[in-house]
Amino acid sequence: MAKAKRNAQQAKPKFDRPVDRHFYNMDEQLTGSIPMYAFGVFLSFFALMGLIWMIPFPQLGFLERMQAQTFLNWGSFFIAIVVYAYLKLAPTLSYVMLFTIGVMSFLIVQLEYVERDHGLPAWIVFAVLALIALTITLFAYCKDVANNNGGEISFWQVLTIGPLWLWSLVFRKLGWRY
């Protein structure tokens, strides 16, 4: 009996940071296809950021006078909030996510140029990408939840903390601290 209690106590490690607990729970629960999660989560993030970016931003006089109206949109606020939240969770990983967001922003602007040159409207592209990515991620998540009989990680956490978790897996594989 005492041996069983000791093993139960050893099974739950103590964490210095809340993000370590989240990553541990995700590692334990999300044992399915990591490439599927990586594709789905990052594509979901990209599509959501693109959809937010496409929401019309009001033309403010002081921005027009400074010729800075093209640099501020709803996507800028989304990026600021996300990077701040990630910075509070894991500073090193938030810098990698900032770089990732920068690459995604470049791709979003390229899709805006395609739309401007009489291409498909960018919001339709992002909406279709969001549907595809969310379906893939939800499929992988439901498969893992069914195999693990539920768990502590919600689908919302997979979408919000998932990009950091995936980068933490890369950092661990490379032996880098985060």
* Across 97-102, average pLDDT: 96
pLDDT at 66 over 60: yes
* Across 91-115, average pLDDT: 95
pLDDT at 11 over 70: no
Nearest 5°: the CA angle 12, 16, 20 is 65
* Across 85-102, average pLDDT: 95
Of residues 56 and 151, more confidence is placed in: 56
φ, ψ dihedrals at 58, nearest 5°: -65, 145
